[in-house]
Structure 1
Amino acid sequence: MATAGLSACDNGFEELNKNPLTVTQEQFKAEYLFSTAQYRTFRGDETNSLYYGSTMTQQMATLSDRGIFDFFGDKYVYHESANDNLWLATYDGGLGPVKLLEDIFHLAEGKDDYHNLVQMTRIWRTIVYSRLTDMYGDIPYSEAGKGYYDRLFRPKYDAQKDIYSHMLAELEDATAKLDVSRKTFASADIAYKGDITKWKKLGYSMMLRLGMRLSKVDPESARLWADKAFKGGTFASNADNLVIRGADAAGANSNLVNGQSEMFRVGFVPGKLSATFFNFMKNGGDPRLKYIAAIYPDWRNNSVKDTNPAIQKGLPNGLNATTVKSDPSYDPTKNEHQYSGVNRDIFAKFDGPRFFATFAESEFLLAEAAVRGWITADAKARYESGVAGAMKVLTTYDASAVISDQDIAAYLLANPYSGAMGTEKALEQINTQYWAATFLNGYETYANLRRSGYPKLVPVQYPDNDSNGKIPSRLRYPQSEMVYNKVSYETAVGRQGADNFNTKIWWDK
Structure 2
Amino acid sequence: MDIKKINTLIFGCSLFLATACDNGFEALNKDPNTVTADRFNPAFLFTTTQLGTAKGDENTDLYYAQPFIQQFASLSNVGIFDFHGDKYVYYKPNNELLWKSTFNATAGPSKLIQDVIQLSKDKAQYANLYHMARIWKTVIYHRLTDMYGDIPYSEASLGYYQQIYKPKYDKQQDVYTNMLTELEDATSKLDASQTLFASADIAYNGDITKWKKFGYSMMLRLGMRLSKVDPASAQAWVKKAYAGGVFTSVDDNLFIKGTDKLGTLEALTNGMSYTLSVTSRSPGKIAKTFFDFLKSHNDPRLKYTVAVYTDPTNVATKNTDPAVQKGLPNGLDRITLVKDPSYDPNASGQEHQYSGVNRDVYAKLDGPRMFLTYGEVQFMLSEAAVRGWITGDAQQFYKNGVSGAMKNLAKYDASATISDAEIATYLTANPFVGIADQEKAFEQINTQYWAATFMNGYEAFANFRRSGYPKLIPVNYPDNETGGTIPRRLRYPDDEPVLNADSYNEAVARQGADNYKIRVWWDK
TM bucket normalised to smaller: over 0.9
2:467 corresponds, among 452, 458, 468, to: 452
1:240 corresponds, among 252, 271, 279, to: 252
Unaligned runs of 5+ residues in structure 1 are 1-11
> Does the 8 A contact of 1:135 with 1:475 survive in 2?
yes
- The alignment partner of 2:80 has SS state of coil
Select between 463-472 and 150-159 the one with higher mean Cα deviation.
463-472
- The alignment partner of 2:255 has SS state of strand
Over the aligned positions, Cα root-mean-square deviation in angstroms equals 1.6
- Is residue 306 from structure 1 mapped to residue 319 from structure 2 by the alignment? yes
- Alpha-carbon distance between aligned partners in 2 of 1:390 and 1:255, rounded to the nearest angstrom: 29
Select between 114-123 and 241-250 the one with higher mean Cα deviation.
241-250
- Alpha-carbon distance between aligned partners in 1 of 2:436 and 2:191, rounded to the nearest angstrom: 44
Change in 2 beyond 3 A, CA 1:149/1:417: same
1:275 corresponds, among 285, 288, 310, to: 288
The CA deviation at 1:66 is: 1.2
The CA deviation at 1:333 is: 1.1
The CA deviation at 1:14 is: 11
- Is residue 461 from structure 1 mapped to residue 473 from structure 2 by the alignment? no
> Does the 8 A contact of 1:474 with 1:503 survive in 2?
yes
Q: Deviations over 1:29-85 (max 9, x none)?
A: 111100100000011110111001110000000001111111000000011000000
- Alpha-carbon distance between aligned partners in 2 of 1:17 and 1:112, rounded to the nearest angstrom: 28
The CA deviation at 1:428 is: 0.2
- Alpha-carbon distance between aligned partners in 2 of 1:358 and 1:44, rounded to the nearest angstrom: 21
> Does the 8 A contact of 2:306 with 2:356 survive in 1?
yes
- The alignment partner of 2:445 has SS state of helix
2:269 corresponds, among 254, 257, 276, to: 257
Name the residue aligned to 2:501: 486
- Alpha-carbon distance between aligned partners in 2 of 1:19 and 1:341, rounded to the nearest angstrom: 57
Change in 2 beyond 3 A, CA 1:268/1:27: farther
Q: Deviations over 1:9-42 (max 9, x none)?
A: xxx9999998765322222111110010000001
Name the residue aligned to 1:440: 455
1:371 corresponds, among 386, 391, 398, to: 386
Name the residue aligned to 1:331: 344
Q: What TM-score, normalized to structure 2? A: 0.93
The CA deviation at 1:296 is: 1.1
Q: Deviations over 1:148-180 (max 9, x none)?
A: 111100000000000000000000111111111
- Alpha-carbon distance between aligned partners in 2 of 1:170 and 1:477, rounded to the nearest angstrom: 26
Q: Deviations over 1:488-508 (max 9, x none)?
A: 000000000000000000000
Select between 311-320 and 20-29 the one with higher mean Cα deviation.
20-29
1:31 corresponds, among 16, 39, 43, to: 43
> Does the 8 A contact of 1:251 with 1:257 survive in 2?
no
> Does the 8 A contact of 1:211 with 1:223 survive in 2?
yes
The CA deviation at 1:461 is: 1.3
2:444 corresponds, among 406, 426, 429, to: 429
2:41 maps to amino acid: K
- Alpha-carbon distance between aligned partners in 2 of 1:156 and 1:303, rounded to the nearest angstrom: 52
Name the residue aligned to 1:7: none
> Does the 8 A contact of 2:77 with 2:87 survive in 1?
yes
- The alignment partner of 1:87 has SS state of helix
Name the residue aligned to 2:61: 49
- The alignment partner of 2:371 has SS state of strand
- Alpha-carbon distance between aligned partners in 1 of 2:36 and 2:120, rounded to the nearest angstrom: 15
1:475 maps to amino acid: L
The CA deviation at 1:442 is: 0.4
Q: Deviations over 1:397-437 (max 9, x none)?
A: 11111111111011011111011551000000000000000
Unaligned runs of 5+ residues in structure 2 are 1-23
The CA deviation at 1:106 is: 1.6
Name the residue aligned to 1:74: 86
- Is residue 193 from structure 1 mapped to residue 205 from structure 2 by the alignment? yes
1:355 maps to amino acid: M
The CA deviation at 1:205 is: 0.2
Q: What TM-score, normalized to structure 1? A: 0.96
- Alpha-carbon distance between aligned partners in 1 of 2:436 and 2:477, rounded to the nearest angstrom: 36
2:219 maps to amino acid: M
> Does the 8 A contact of 2:147 with 2:458 survive in 1?
yes
Q: Deviations over 1:309-345 (max 9, x none)?
A: 1000000000001101000000001211100000111
- Is residue 100 from structure 1 mapped to residue 112 from structure 2 by the alignment? yes
> Does the 8 A contact of 2:294 with 2:302 survive in 1?
yes
The CA deviation at 1:95 is: 0.5
- Is residue 350 from structure 1 mapped to residue 365 from structure 2 by the alignment? yes
- The alignment partner of 1:295 has SS state of strand
- Alpha-carbon distance between aligned partners in 1 of 2:361 and 2:31, rounded to the nearest angstrom: 49
Q: How does 1:86-125 map to 2 (within 5 A)?
A: 86-125=98-137
1:35 maps to amino acid: T
Aligned residues: 498
- Alpha-carbon distance between aligned partners in 2 of 1:369 and 1:15, rounded to the nearest angstrom: 59
Select between 90-99 and 244-253 the one with higher mean Cα deviation.
244-253
- Alpha-carbon distance between aligned partners in 2 of 1:421 and 1:376, rounded to the nearest angstrom: 16
- Alpha-carbon distance between aligned partners in 2 of 1:148 and 1:202, rounded to the nearest angstrom: 30
Change in 2 beyond 3 A, CA 1:433/1:359: same
The CA deviation at 1:454 is: 0.2
- Alpha-carbon distance between aligned partners in 2 of 1:45 and 1:26, rounded to the nearest angstrom: 33
2:180 maps to amino acid: L
- Alpha-carbon distance between aligned partners in 2 of 1:17 and 1:350, rounded to the nearest angstrom: 48
1:314 maps to amino acid: G
1:201 maps to amino acid: K
- Alpha-carbon distance between aligned partners in 2 of 1:227 and 1:201, rounded to the nearest angstrom: 14
The CA deviation at 1:301 is: 2.6
The CA deviation at 1:130 is: 0.2
- Alpha-carbon distance between aligned partners in 2 of 1:145 and 1:250, rounded to the nearest angstrom: 32
1:182 maps to amino acid: Q
Name the residue aligned to 2:425: 410
1:289 corresponds, among 272, 295, 302, to: 302
- The alignment partner of 1:215 has SS state of coil
2:197 maps to amino acid: F
- Alpha-carbon distance between aligned partners in 1 of 2:70 and 2:100, rounded to the nearest angstrom: 25
Select between 164-173 and 100-109 the one with higher mean Cα deviation.
100-109
